[in-house]
Structure formats: C-alpha cells, structure tokens
Structure 1
C-alpha cells in the first residue's frame, strides 16, 4: 500500500475577542457591564477585560480609552498551539507583515501574532488563553460547566458570536484572503447586478457566520466594522433585551428576523464608542462538509436582510460604522 503523506494546514477554531477603543470609557463600561451585563475579569494597564456568563476564556471584549473610537483588532483562536507559528510562516510567504505579540501583552493571553487583511482590518491569532473561574462567589454559577450565574444583571447574553466588517473597496481580494489564507468557508453571499459579490457570510465553525463582509462604497475607509455580536439562547431573550434597552432610554433597531442566517436580531449602539452591538439568537447550524454556498440576488435582499420585523439599514444610525484597522503597513497587497 502506498504511503500517504500530508501536512496539516494551520486552522482557526473560533472567534476569540474584540479589542475596542472608546472616546468615553465611562459610558462604554456602563453600557457593556450594566446594560448588556458582561462580567469583568480584570483591569490591567487601563484595559478592561470582559466576557459573557457563558464565555470560558479570559475575555471576549476588551475596552480602553483612546483618542478616537475604533476596534484595535479582532482576535481568533487557533486550533493548535503550533498553528500560531504556522500562520505566521504562511502569511509572511504571502508578503503580509506579521507582528509577534508576546505572552502577557494582553491579560490572560499567550503568544500571538497580528497582521492586516488586504483591506487594512487588524487581525490577531492566538492559542493560549487563561480560563479563570469567577473570582467572586456571588457571581459564580453552581453549574460546573458554566462560569457565571446567568441573568445576574442586564441583558445577559451567553457568549460572543460573530463580527461584521465593511470595506469601500471591491471585496473580492478580501474574501479570497479569508478563504485561501485563513480557511474560512463561504456560507451565504449576495450577488450584485454586475455579477460581483457585494456581501458574504463566512465561518470556520458550524455557525452560519463567524464573520460577515459588507462592500459599501460610501464607507469612510476600507477597514470599518459594522457590528460585533453576542448570542442569547432564544427569541424571548431578544424581546427581554428590548425592554431593558427601552428602560434605560437607549434607542435600537429591531427586533426582527434575518432571512440570511434565519436569526433573530436587535441592533444597538454603544453610547461611548459608537460601535454597534447585535444581540443575536436562533438561526441554523451547518454540519454538511459539502455545503454549497447560498446565493442571494439584490432584488431578494428585502427578505435576505429582514425576513420580518423592522427593516434594518434604512436610517443613518443603521449605516454608522467605526474603523477596525488602518492603512496597510505591508509592502504590497495580497
């Protein structure tokens, strides 16, 4: 029998965290801790590290004050420790500038790498991350498979879910990079009248999307973020979230149901940074290894974006984004 030789390509396991910079730290912490109900793991060097009650890793959101509101980076957990190094090798061979991040630079995190997408979005890949228990017994769940008590305060989503990034350039190069260099799989996409991909939903997990990419010429830069998303268990949780936001005098879009992803949604903007948060539930999972991406046409997007409920994307607030990167540092684009 002929010997079979193969090498494992580096892989991403899941979305890890979003590093947010805000111009009003007090408002952002009030929003994410008290209204949304995220739990604070620790504060180090002016950075506040938060996670949802069902998140196991040290943090899924970090917040610090900065001169401008932006997402400093979006982080992804590798499947294996050696994948961090192997991704660095793969990216450098593709002429992508890779920055090594030493363990401890972010609280709770081991060695990592940072780099830019062809659009200028800043990504990070890590493997090692502490999974600390709840330090305060009053916050700790009695369940051994759950970090914190659910519903302790605020909206109380279970876990981080996905990010949605935007670009004002042709997204083809960006989408190729995500698939060919980072291993994302196309799940659903929008085909524009000129036969280009105008939006795409991709994942490395069984979720419909761990990341979405929107191409919008009117965006201020090529490296924007439309929203980050946290997951709740069911549709009633989203309705409860709407009540809590209304009680706090915060306006929002939704609730509604997407056609793409089939998920319940509600959009709300952090009053400190201006970043949009999507509260997300239901939807479907993909287990088929031979999944064929679902194509949507422009004339179908009234259903694709909003199957029912308040139509998102109509108001100026719905279209607002903040930067999630910077002009490319690499010598040339991929």
Structure 2
C-alpha cells in the first residue's frame, strides 16, 4: 500500500444537500422561518447558510419528485487530503466518484462515496467564502451577516444524525478507521450491543451521530440535521417564533447525552427533521474514553434529561425500547 507523509483529516461538517418534494414550503421553512440567508439561486438550486457560517453554503435545496438527502459534505484540513482520502478509500474497497471543480456551485474538486449504510458523503477542501451583499452585511469584520435579522436565526450548522437499519458497530468502525472520527458517547441495548453512537472530528461531542433502529425502512435514512443557537434564551425565542408560524415542534428540552438543549421541528416541504441546538460541552482531552450508556441509563436520562417527552418526534420511551431490540 502506498505510504503518505501524514494521515488525511476531516476538518469539519460543511453542508447538507437536500432534495425536497415541495420546494416552496422548504424555502418558507428554512429561509423565512428558521432564518437562513440565501447566498444564490442557480439552475433551480437554492444555496443557504446561517449568519455565522463563512462558506458559500451549509444547506442547498432543490426540487424533486421525492424528498431525500443527496449528500453530506465535509471539508478536509488540507487540499491534498481529498486525493489522499480517495486513494485510501479505494484501496479499502470503497467506490469513489470524483466531482470536478464547479460541478457544485462555489466548490472545488471533491470526491463522493457511500458509507456501508448507503449514506453518501462528499469530501472537499476548496469552497468560496462568499461575502454578504451590503444590505445584509454585518458591521463586524469577523461575521458574515447581521445577527438575528429574521426568524430563529441560528449562528451555524452543527451536526447531522443518520438513521439506519444496519449494524451500528459496522458503520462506527468505518467512520473511525476510514475517516478518522472519534467515538464520544454511545448507547447499548439490554444485550450490550451498541445501537446509537455520537462521533466527531472536532472538539464537539458530535459532528455526526448514527442510530440503528428497526423503525428504519431503509439503511440510509436521515434522523435530523442541526443548526446551532448561541444560548438557551435564543432557544426559548425560537419556540415563540415557531408558535407564531403555527409549526409544531418538540421541546424545549435537554439531552443527557451531549448535555445539549434542543427543539425538534420538521420541514413541512421535505419532512426533514431539524434540531435547533445549543449549550452542550466541548472535548479537549486527547485520551477521551467514550462514554457508555446502558439501556436503563439512556431511558432515564440519556435522551431526555428534562423537557417534553410526550410527542412522537423525539426518541421517547417506546422508541428507546425499539432501539433496544436492534
């Protein structure tokens, strides 16, 4: 096998590419109600980002006959890491497809491939940091847009949570060995088999989570994407805004795993679940040991430490029991 001077690394979550069966409703939700800023609209694709995101887009939305996630983009730490990852993935038996610079607006050369679950990832390095137009530009030189200009107004993209019918350990092993993710927390069923895992390449508790459940009809489903709010007060403000928009949601509440406060709400256009996310904790220890939650611990405090446990959209008691059967 070819030797490299250094191991390639992923720097952060970049963007999510959403195809929506009802584009107008999805734009009303993400752009007008959640308050993401629209960077450009080219060839029917709407490119959006939060007011604190620097890259050209962290979410793209296009119309389709059905709703699904086309791919999830991750930025590498170095430009050459893209080609190095391609070589290593191909050597390990993963089929890799090259995406030419400009095929995705504002993005350089990239690769796309599938996890064992079928979720499609994209790795890139070059992405334009498009400035905001003057009417929306922040007076702060270290911020893209004006803060809280409209809607819920999250600061940045935070993480993705993948849902699958496949073996959790297989996908976690792939994320660790092929892509360099670190396991931070995980939940096991009564037979001590992992069924939900939280991993990151940054200091966050998770940049990606993977939940294995018999509720999944397909191996490559999406549980939710998440955008970050600065604090708990912003989360309460978000609840008021969603109520005024007459959009049902779950929360506010607090997870035991990640210690984050949350609201879950669904895009009425695509059905994609959005988590509005704040607080949590950061990991700086180089010798971090993954935190294991038993079935009983997860049921008691892991998913909902406190908050709204009643509605169907969160992993409540009945769903946790289903997870435990995996």
Q: TM-score, normalised by structure 2?
A: 0.94
Question: Which deviates more, 191-200 or 274-283?
Answer: 191-200
- For residues 47 and 205 of structure 2, what CA distance do their matches in structure 1 show? 27
- For residues 247 and 217 of structure 1, what CA distance do their matches in structure 2 show? 35
Structure 1 counterpart of 2:199: 202
Structure 1 unaligned spans of 5+: 320-334
Structure 2 counterpart of 1:67: 65
Q: How does 1:29-108 map to 2 (within 5 A)?
A: 29-108=27-106
Structure 2 counterpart of 1:326: none
Query: Post-superposition, which runs of at least 4 consecutive aligned residues in structure 1 deviate over 3 A?
Result: none
Q: Which structure exhibits the higher relative contact order, with contacts defined as CA atoms closer than 8 Å and separated by 6 or more residues? A: 1
- Is 2:192–2:294's contact at 8 Å kept on the other side of the alignment? no
Q: TM-score, normalised by structure 1?
A: 0.92
- For residues 284 and 196 of structure 2, what CA distance do their matches in structure 1 show? 22
Q: How does 1:74-223 map to 2 (within 5 A)?
A: 74-135=72-133, 137-223=134-220
Structure 2 unaligned spans of 5+: 316-326
- For residues 173 and 309 of structure 2, what CA distance do their matches in structure 1 show? 30
Structure 1 counterpart of 2:323: none
- Is 2:165–2:215's contact at 8 Å kept on the other side of the alignment? yes
- Is 2:189–2:295's contact at 8 Å kept on the other side of the alignment? yes
Partner SS for 2:289:
coil
- For residues 241 and 90 of structure 2, what CA distance do their matches in structure 1 show? 47
Partner deviation per Cα, 1:144-202 (whole Å, 9 max, x = no partner): 00000011000000000000001112111111000000000000001221121110000
Structure 2 counterpart of 1:229: 226
Question: Alignment RMSD, CA only?
Answer: 1.2
1:140/1:269 CA distance change after superposition, 3 Å: same
Paired residues, number:
312
- For residues 265 and 14 of structure 2, what CA distance do their matches in structure 1 show? 21
Determine which of 218, 233, 239 is the counterpart of 1:242: 239
Partner deviation per Cα, 1:21-61 (whole Å, 9 max, x = no partner): 00000000011111000001101111100000000000000
